[in-house]
Every structure is written in structure tokens, then in C-alpha cells.
Amino acid sequence: MMLELDDIDGIGPKTKDLLKKLKINNGLELLKFYPYRYDIIRRSDLQHLMDGSKIIVDGIIDGQPAIIYINKSLRKIIFRINVKQTILNVTLYNRIHMYQDLKCGKAITVIGKYNKIKNTIIASEIRFSLLPPNTKIEPVYYTTAGLSSKQIGKFINNVLYSRYIPDSLLPKYIEEKYHFLSISDALFNVHIPKDILNLQKARQRIKYEELFIYMLKVRYLKYKIEESTSAIARTIDDKKITKFIENLPFKLTLDQEVAVKAIISDLKTNKRMNRLLQGDVGSGKTIIAFITIYVNYLSKYQSALMAPTEILALQHYNEAKKIFSNYELSIALLTSSTTAKEKEAIYNDLAKGKIDLVIGTQALIQENVHYKNLGLVITDEQHRFGVNQRNNLKNKGTFPDVLSMSATPIPRTYALTIYGDMDISSLKMKPEGRKEVKTCFKKEKEIIDVLKMMKRELDKKHQVYVVAPMVEDSENSEIESINSLKMKMHKAFGKIFNIDIIHGKLDNKEKKTIMNNFSSGKIDILISTTVIEVGVNVPNATMIVVFNANMFGLSTLHQLRGRVGRSDIQSYCILVAKESEERLHILEKTTDGFEISDYDFQNRGEGDLFGIRQSGELGLNMANIKKDFKMLQKAKEDVDDFIDILFTSNENDQYSSIMNELRKIENLD
Ligand code: ADP
Ligand code: MG
């Protein structure tokens, strides 16, 4: 049963809107809105107070507080507090409205900072009650303007005390195996911790449940795919494939050959292909996509190639036209900027089977796209699409084969777990003749060096990317915006070189024009946000400068670096940050994406889930795939055992909530 926000005590229409801003839409989501940290409220020991340390004391107001006027805008309340016969001074700035509640003899708790010489607490918080006898652990929640952490906590308590507790998604025997808290105890303790031990136990249980369900979904997807033998029977003329490959402008690398072999063998069996092709930027995944498309075409089926952005879709389209110029294969581009009329024509042709390959963005998976006989779906940079989206595309035809390409390679052990529903091909080596991108770190104050290095490349008629984390200036003046960079670059280079900017807020047409101008060399310096991150290919761009590099995850930086080094010219990547960080030096040492993500895993880098399935779609609110990887592996083992139990169990009733959860990913419409 769903608990609506309206049915929770204390939540009116206004609060409801605020909660929605935090992506909380119902009682269950409120319960799963876990604290991001906890404050420990423990009475300070007066004997051992250090100057400047945090202090929490409770006692009785001693004498009448006074208001002191410091100047027009600054006033303070001062008073004394008697803490078990010890007198301390308290100063409270700018909280004059509290004056009337601060009466002599009142019992209060003061939280603040202690000044030893003046024996004074600079109070940050006053509470009108004494402290509980034992240490109290207070949850702190993310907030939004108009809604405090305390209020959120109160709503959650209301839900908890109304006994609205979701069903456990762990089988009983697993709860027992690990002596987990019950789901109810876990939820209570995570929001209202009894003590540290119970809080830890609660977090263990909740994380484990999330990871267990995640692995179960992965396993279930695999099962579903194995079960659905493809209706596609292919007769493939191997000679034609060989010929096609021989006619390519280059020789395949060994890794590419191995991947192609695996794919062809997938296509020949009547099991549905579900393969992940992972390889660093520039490792040559696109050509493998085209070979796969060609094979699918030979067996007379349509192919769809889906890219995460219009720019990339267009790039693939141009590339495909080149590669297939001597073949009959007909190709269409379908994106959101395709006109309604063109779209209509493409839809028609797809339905009639006049188009062999359609390349596009999300537009490809919209309701009104019908294929005559879709046999192959390829998604580029697959992590950009949700599981559900991919399912949509898969089921437009009769069980098409699926190839997902990812430019954020992760080491095999991790990949096997996280992408356990897929077969995996990895491209580890780069095509021959590539020079490694030289990477160096520069401090912000060495900006002159950076400009000089840029000038050297620009003078050679090469082009340069400049990247900043944000579009507009923010209050945090330490963060470079592309607008402020634009001014700096104009000052340094504006007279000699052409400079332009690109970012996500521009419309698609503008973006396309700018990218075309950069491709054709009309722009020398392109300043951007991470829009250029994925897949863009401009071989004459030989330098990328990333400002505030410390704000990006390693794999994002590695991706950005992949924008250069796309020809046999030596390329450079300059990482600029205020302070040096060990993390960033890893990028100076290696250009191997597998090694970089390995480092990321070992060091459990946070906030950088790029390339790994999006946490949102995984339902991971507390667990973190990287930090909790060991636990994830445990969950995987348990899932392997449980899946048999689940499918052979006659009394599925006891697992009905688990089955419900699994059905969510089926979504077969
Ligand atoms: P990514 O894996 O990042 O998608 P691409 O497919 O864009 O890489 O390949 C990068 C470049 O390398 C392209 O210009 C492509 O034509 C070229 N390329 C791919 N395979 C080879 C190869 N075996 N030998 C030489 N160049 C290759
Ligand atoms: Mg690519």
C-alpha cells in the first residue's frame, strides 16, 4: 500500500512541494531519504575543555540576560549559565528574537565554541531542554530552502510511528545468516539511532538489502535474456564479412578481431546477444559497431544505433555514410531536431523496411517508432541510458540482439559483478601509431605557463579545448566558469585566435554549428563544460586544458582527455587546480583507462559513478558500488543461491515483494 504525502501528519501542500524538490514523492521515499551524516550530542566534560573546542552543556540560566548593541546591524545577548555549580558565560549573536524565552532560572542546552580565557561559550544553538542522560545521535538530512533537517526528521518520525514499514526484500534465511536487524528496527535506528552500534547494524542491513536487490535484478535480467531465444535465424556469408573488413582503411587490432569474432558467434547462435563492448576512448569501438551492423544487414535485418547526444549521433551518421559508401545499405538520422515532416518519412520507411540503419538519440525509442524487422540495437556510451530505456528499444522488434558500448572501461572482476547480465568484450590496446597523450598538472598560479603551452599548440595551427565545471559565475568565486574563462582567453588570445564557447544550455542547432566550426578549424579555442566529454572526434585538437580539475572524477577527466590524441600528432592534457592532489597525478602516470578505474575502485572515489550504472536506477540510496564492493560480492554469492530457490519455490507468496521489485525492471511495453 502506498502512503501518500498528504496522509502524513504535518505535511501540507507547501511542504509537499518542498519535499518533491528533494525527489520525495511518498511515504516510502521519505523513509528511504537517509541522513547524510549524524551529529553526536554528548555533554562536554568541563574539566577537560580546550580553548576553541566544541562544547555542549546543559544547565540553568543564572541571572537576567542582557542585550548589547554592538552597532546598527549587530546585537548580542549575553547571560550566564550554571552547569552543576560551575558558571559559564554565554554569548549569542543576532538572535534577539530569543530574548523573551531566555529567562532567569530556565533549563537550557547550549551548543557552541568555548573561549577559555573569557570562560565564554559563543553559542551556535540554544535548546530549551536539558540533555538526555546518554549520548544522543542526531540525524542530519539534506535540505532545501524552506525545509530544515529537523522538519524532515519529524515527518520521517511520523511515518515510522504510524507503523508504515515496507516489506523486507531479504529472504528470511539471509536475515538470519547475517543476524541482520529486522527491516523495521533498521529503519528506526537509521533515523532515530539508539546508539552507535545499532546505527551501524542498521546501515549494514539497509545497504545489504539494496545491493542484494540490485544483484538480483542483474541476475534476473540475465535469466530473462537466456530464456528468450531469439527468433532471429541468421544465414551469414562469412566471405562477405571478411571482404568488408579487408576493405576498411586500416587493419583491425588484435583486440578488435577478438571482439568481432565473439560478436559474430553471438549473432549466429539463436540466443539473444547481450554484450558489453568496453574500451578506452579511441580504442576503436565504432568500427566494431559498423561491422556488427553490416553482419546484421547481410542477414536482412534493420539496425538501430543510439547515441547519448545529437552531436555524437551526427558524427556516427557521417562516419557510417563514409564506411558504407560502396554498399547498398540505406541510412537515416533521427534526432529531436529532425523536422516533423522528415520524421514522418523516416517512420514510414522504417515500418516498411526501407531503412537498414537508423542512427539517433532517444528519439529512436519513442512510442511511435515501429520497425519492420529490427534485428540489432547498439547503444554507444551505454551507461547514459537507463535499464528501462534500453528495454524499450530492445522490444521494438522481435528480440533484437543488443550491443552496448562503454568508453569507461572497468576491470573485469568489477565488470562481471556490476554488469553480470552481459557478456563482456574489452579493447585494451589502441590502434597502432597513436602517441600517448602527455598529461601534466599545473597550479592555478602557474596560469602563465599554461597560456604559453596553449600558444605553442595554437601556433602550429592545432586546436585547443578549454574546460570548466560551470557555465555561469557562482557565489563561489574559486570555481572557474566558462564565462570568466572566456574573458581570460580573449584577453590572452582574442586578437590572434578564434574563440567560442559551447555548453549544455545552448540549443541543439547552436551546438551543432559550433561543433561544425570547430571540426572545420574555424574555431581555434573551444571553451566548454563537459558537453564535449563523450565521443567527439576532432583529430586536429591536440590540447585540452581542464580548470578546477579537482572537481571532476578521475574517469571523467580520463574521458575528457580522450578528446585529444586522436591522430598521430603528439597531444597534451593540462589539469589545472588550486592545490595538487595525488589523485590527479595518477593521470600523469598512466593513460590506461582500466588502470585508472582500478585505482578509483581501490580508493573508493566518491561521487564519480560515471560509467558505472547510475545509482538512481539501481535503487541505491545508501550503498555505494565502489565503497561497498566487498558487500556487493557477498550479495552476488547469495543471489546465485537464492535465484534457484526463487524459481523453484512453489510458495512464491513469501517472496511476493521481491517478485514485485523484479517486475519493475521487466517493463515490457
Ligand atoms: P572509440 O572507441 O572512442 O569510439 P573510435 O571508434 O572513435 O574510438 O576510434 C577512434 C579513431 O581510431 C577513429 O578515427 C577510427 O577510425 C580509428 N581506428 C579505429 N580502429 C583502428 C585501427 N585498427 N587502426 C587504425 N585506426 C583505427
Ligand atoms: Mg566512440
Query: Same structural domain for residues 85 and 192?
Result: no
DSSP H helices, 90-162, are: 149-161
Query: Is residue 539 within 6 Å of ligand 1 at its C-beta?
Result: no
Looking from the CA of residue 562, the nearest atom of ligand 1 is 3
Closest atom of ligand 1 relative to the 252 alpha carbon: 23
Q: How far is the CA of 417 from the centre of ligand 2 (A)?
A: 24
Q: Give the closest residue to 380 by CA, choosing from 537, 608, 615.
A: 537
* Least confident window among 10-24, 471-485, 654-668: 471-485
Q: How sure is the predictor about 211, in pLDDT bands with cuts at 50, 70 and 90? A: very high
Nearest CA to 49 out of 102, 130, 118 is that of: 118
Mean predicted lDDT score pLDDT of the chain? 87
In a shared domain, residues 468 and 579 = yes
Q: Provide the 3-class DSSP secondary structure of residue 668.
A: coil
Helix axes 285-298, 238-246, angle to 10 degrees: 150
**Candidate from 183-197, 218-232, 566-580 with smallest mean pLDDT:** 218-232
Last residue of a domain, one of 427, 447, 467: 427
Tell me: do 90 and 173 sit in the same domain: no
Residue 611 confidence (pLDDT): 47
pLDDT tens string 531-561: 665 557 789 999 999 999 988 888 888 888 9
Q: Is the pLDDT of residue 245 over 50?
A: yes
Helix (H) or strand (E) holding 646: helix 629-648
Q: Are residues 278 and 339 in the same domain?
A: yes
Grid cell listed for 121: 561559550
How far is it, in rounded angstroms, from Cα 412 to Cα 79? 64
Q: In the predicted model, what is the mean pLDDT of residues 240-263?
A: 96
Task: Indicate whether 24 belongs to any domain.
Answer: no
Assess if residue 654 is contained within a domain.
Answer: yes
Q: Please, what is the Cα angle at 498 between 493 and 500, to 5 degrees?
A: 105
Please tell me the predicted confidence (pLDDT) of residue 391. 56
Domain with residue 371: its CATH number is: 3.40.50.300
Q: Which helix (H) or strand (E) holds 376?
A: strand 374-380
Question: In this predicted structure, what is the pLDDT of residue 537?
Answer: 79
Question: Which DSSP helix (H) or strand (E) runs through 126?
Answer: strand 120-127
| Cα–Cα distance for residue pair 523/502, rounded to 1 Å | 11
Q: Which residues pair with 499 in a beta bridge?
A: 525
For the residues 407-419, what does the mean pLDDT come to?
Answer: 80
Comparing 462 with 3, which gets the higher pLDDT?
462
Distance separating alpha carbons of residues 352 and 255, to the nearest angstrom: 37
- The rounded distance, in Å, linking the Cα atoms of 241 and 260 is 10
DSSP sequence for 79-104: EEEEETTEEEEEEEES-GGGGGG--T
Task: Examine residue 572 and state whether it is found in any structural domain, yes or no.
Answer: yes
Query: Same domain, yes or no, for 353 and 249?
Result: yes
Residues with CB under 5 A from ligand 2 (ion): 535
pTM for the model stands at: 0.74
Answer yes or no: do 447 and 566 share one domain: yes
Higher-pLDDT residue of 323, 136: 323
Q: In what order do the strands lie in the sheet with 374-380?
A: 331-334, 357-360, 302-306, 374-380, 401-406, 274-279, 423-427
Please say whether the beta carbons of 550 and 579 come within 8 A.
Answer: yes
- pLDDT value of residue 217: 86
- The answer to whether the Cα torsion of 439, 443, 444, 447 is positive or negative is negative
Asked whether residue 387 falls in the same domain as residue 254, the answer is yes
246 and 299 share one domain = yes
CA of 401 to the centre of ligand 1 (A): 23
Are residues 478 and 581 located together in one domain of the fold? yes
Residue 223 shares a structural domain with residue 319: no
Contact 440, 545 (CB under 8 A): no
621 lies in some domain: no
For 292, the 3-state DSSP assignment is helix
- How many Å from the N-terminal Cα to the C-terminal Cα in the chain? 24
- Does the pLDDT of residue 392 top 60, yes or no? no
Q: Which helix (H) or strand (E) holds 55?
A: strand 54-71
d(CA 575, CA 553): 12
Please report which ligand is nearest the Cα atom of 559. Answer: 1
Find the range with the poorest average confidence among 15-29, 264-278, 323-337, 387-401. Answer: 387-401
> How far is ligand 2, taken at its centre, from the CA of residue 286, in Å?
5
611 CB contacts (<8 Å, ≥6 apart)?
383, 406, 407, 408, 410, 555, 597
Distance from residue 380's CA to the centre of ligand 2 (Å)? 7
Strands 302-306, 499-502: parallel, antiparallel or unpaired by DSSP? unpaired
Question: Which ligand is closest to the CA of 409, given by its number?
Answer: 1
In a domain, 432, yes or no: no
Of 378, 396, 427, which marks where a domain is finished?
A: 427
Question: How far away, in angstroms, is 27 Cα from ligand 1 center?
Answer: 50
Structural domain range at position 315 = 238-427
Residues 545 and 454: their CA atoms lie apart, in Å, by: 8
- Residue 308's beta-bridge partner residues? none
Is the pLDDT score of 371 beyond 80?
Answer: yes
pLDDT in tens, 466-503: 998 876 665 556 677 888 889 999 999 999 999 999 98
Residue 411 grid coordinates: 576491470
pLDDT at 613 over 60: no
Distance from C-alpha of 441 to C-alpha of 575, rounded to nearest angstrom: 5
Residue 433 lies in a domain: no
Residue 492 lies in a domain: yes
Asked if 274 and 412 sit in the same domain, the reply is: yes
What pLDDT does 616 receive?
Answer: 54
Within-domain flag for 11: no
Q: With a 6 A CB cut-off, is 281 part of the ligand 1 pocket?
A: yes
Higher pLDDT among residues 661 and 84, named by residue: 84
Same domain, 457 and 364: no
Mean pLDDT for 430-459 is 91
- What is the total count of domains within the chain? 4
Question: What is the total residue count of the chain?
Answer: 669
CATH number of the domain to which 89 belongs: 2.40.50.1010
State yes or no: pLDDT of 293 exceeds 70. Answer: yes
Domain boundary among 377, 404, 427: 427
515 confidence band (pLDDT: 50, 70, 90): confident
Contact 365, 395 (CB under 8 A): no
Which stretch of 22-31, 97-106, 315-324, 380-389 has the lowest confidence by average pLDDT?
A: 380-389
